[in-house]
Amino acid sequence: MSSEPIRDLGEGIGKGAVKGALDWGENFIKDLVRRFREKGINFIEDKNTLEIAREQYNSGELQIYKHYIEDANNLMILRMGLVLRKLERLGERDRKQKLREDILKKYEIKGLHVAQFVENGILNRYIGILLDDISSIEKFKERINEIISNIEKYVLFVKKEDDERFILDFCLRMTTSNLSMIFIVSGMGSAGEIIKKIEGRLIKLLKDYELEKMSKGDNENFFFKRIIGNE
């Protein structure tokens, strides 16, 4: 066992408490286990946000993800997506923005995109689409892990500064090169308005796909599902 968690524990509870803790009482063991478990979320600076992240550890949604995703880093990022969603529901916009910055700093843009994938409910709908045509659990798990590990190949997160030509070119390039069964275009606020504006052009461009739309608030998500027989 590494001595680092014990040293961290000592700094947190003081010398006197450490002396008592060295008796390996029940409370010490529980606290040590908790600190091991929460070690991965120490990058969150805001105390209230940290508490929400701890709450999400046992959430039903995260427990479902754990059945299909084994990578610890990916699970942590999915957990952060749930926290972003909770902060949005609570109207904690400043804390949400700060967490986005923390995620970006630790996991870079790819990690932030994966967190948004969960926050916006896209992962849940993606899983639902997969379940409509599931051939085996192994294939199901493979596709979920593939999209999380290589999210830029399967999801375009439109930014407000992206122009229509860029979006159209990107979608055509990605669907042609990857031949993905599901390709997603997502945007929030003014970016969502851009997506809606070019809906007809996207449908015409991606003629081998059928469109399913998922709108929520100012968030717009287009799921392009490859038509069976056009693989």
Class of domain 154-226: alpha beta
**92-149 confidence digits (pLDDT tens):** 999 999 999 999 999 999 999 999 999 999 999 999 988 887 778 888 899 999 999 9
Amino acid at 208: D
**178-231 confidence digits (pLDDT tens):** 888 899 999 988 999 999 999 999 999 999 999 999 988 788 999 999 987 544
Taking 60 as the threshold, does the pLDDT of residue 36 lie above it?
no
The rounded distance, in Å, linking the Cα atoms of 198 and 45 is 40
Q: In what order do the strands lie in the sheet with 209-216?
A: 155-157, 182-188, 219-226, 209-216
Domain boundaries, the chain: 1-42, 47-147, 154-226
pLDDT for 35: 54
DSSP, res 179:
-
What is the pTM assigned to this prediction? 0.76
C-beta of residue 140 within 8 angstroms of C-beta of residue 130: yes
The length of the chain is: 231
